[in-house]
Structure 1
Amino acid sequence: MAVAELCLFPLGTESPSVGRYLEPVIEVIEKSGLKYMVCPMGTVVEGSVDEILELVKKCHEAILKAGAKRVVISLKIDDRIDKPLSIEGKLGV
């Protein structure tokens, strides 16, 4: 199980407010069935690397479909094979 932080930045928008572009992205994440946590500067998800990469692809499509003319994606993946990872473990909970 991997833990990833995903941040999508819509560019080419008419306003500095980007909530309307990110709402469909959150819907995609919710529908993915992966464990996730929305944070102030990104979203953390838990799953296999393949599941996470497929989710990133769907999020990319969703933000463009929402009207963003350009998108920058920041993705960090922590994948360990020596012990289980979880969102709570990364938070020290």
Structure 2
Amino acid sequence: MAVAELCLFPLGTGSPSVGEYLKPVIRVIEESGLKYRLCPMGTVVEGSVDEILELVKRCHEAIFNAGAERVVISLRIDDRTDKPLTIEGKMRV
């Protein structure tokens, strides 16, 4: 199991407000079945690397379908083989 942080930045929207472009992205994340946590500057998801990469692809399509002319995606994946990773485990100090 991997934990990833995903941020999508729609560009070419004509407005500094991006909520309308991110609503369909959040819907895709909710419907993915993956465990997730919305954060102020991105979303953290938990799943296999393949599931996470497929989710990124669907989010990419959703933001373009919402009308963004350009999108910048920031993705960080933490994956390890020596012990399981979870969102909650990464939050513990």
TM-score by length of 2: 0.99
Task: List gaps (5 residues or longer) in structure 1.
Answer: none
When the two chains are superposed, the root-mean-square deviation of aligned CA atoms in Å is 0.8
Match of 1:82 in 2: 82
C-alpha distance in 2 between matches for 1:73 and 1:15? 18
Match of 2:68 in 1: 68
Q: Deviations over 1:1-49 (max 9, x none)?
A: 0000000000001110000000000000000000000000000000000
Query: What percentage of residue pairs aligned between the two structures are identical?
Result: 83
2:90 match: secondary structure: helix
- The runs of at least 4 aligned residues of structure 1 exceeding 3 Å deviation read none
C-alpha distance in 2 between matches for 1:61 and 1:45? 18
Q: Deviations over 1:63-83 (max 9, x none)?
A: 000000000000000001100
C-alpha distance in 2 between matches for 1:49 and 1:83? 15
Match of 1:40 in 2: 40
Match of 1:22 in 2: 22
Task: List gaps (5 residues or longer) in structure 2.
Answer: none
How many equivalent residue pairs?
93
1:12 matched to 2:12? The reply is yes
Q: Partner amino acid for 2:77? A: I
